[in-house]
């Protein structure tokens, strides 16, 4: 079963793009049950299960690996994990792959931390008046 999203454009051939997930076991299992899990011929998975033994350096390495993969279109990362590597997440400004912060069972979503919403607020807020 092929779980990839087909993307077409005038400049490129049809390319299949994947979602990537960085989150706790329940989050990753939920997305795997929804059909997004994939392990390629090089045994590279499009998900990372984070537990209490996972270091911020490991999360950062996985995040950067997903950013560099040409077959990844969207990276879903639990907000608690994004907080552990916040400077790296905030520094990613490209549209593809898109980085979307999601809640986990243990930690609710906090819109004030979301890097995309922070940028959107900056664009949408009116310029300050000078007296």
For 1-50, the DSSP string reads ---PEEE--SSS--EEEEEEEEE-HHHHHHHHHTT---B-TT--BSEEE-
Q: What is the pLDDT of residues 1-57, one digit of tens each?
A: 455 544 444 444 556 788 999 999 999 999 899 888 888 778 888 999 999 999 999
Q: What is the pLDDT of residues 61-110, one digit of tens each?
A: 999 999 999 989 999 999 999 999 999 998 988 888 999 999 877 766 76
Q: In the structure encoding, which two tokens stand for residue 3, read together?
A: 């779980």
Residue with the two structure tokens 């392990």: 39
Question: Is 18-121 in CATH node 3.40.50.10580?
Answer: yes
Residue 111, classed as helix, strand or coil, is: helix
């Amino acid at each position: 079963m092929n779980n990839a999203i087909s993307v077409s454009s005038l400049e490129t051939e049809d390319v299949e793009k994947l979602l990537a997930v960085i989150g706790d076991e329940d989050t990753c299992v939920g997305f795997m049950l929804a059909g997004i899990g994939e392990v390629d011929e090089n045994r590279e998975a499009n998900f990372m299960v984070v537990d209490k033994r996972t270091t911020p350096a490991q999360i950062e390495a996985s995040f950067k690996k997903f950013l560099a993969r040409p077959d990844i279109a969207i990276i879903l990362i639990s907000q608690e994990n994004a907080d552990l590597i916040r400077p790296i997440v905030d520094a990613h400004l490209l549209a593809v792959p898109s980085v979307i912060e999601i809640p986990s069972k243990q930690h609710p979503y906090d819109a004030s931390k979301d890097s995309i919403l922070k940028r959107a607020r900056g664009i949408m807020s009116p310029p300050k008046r000078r007296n």
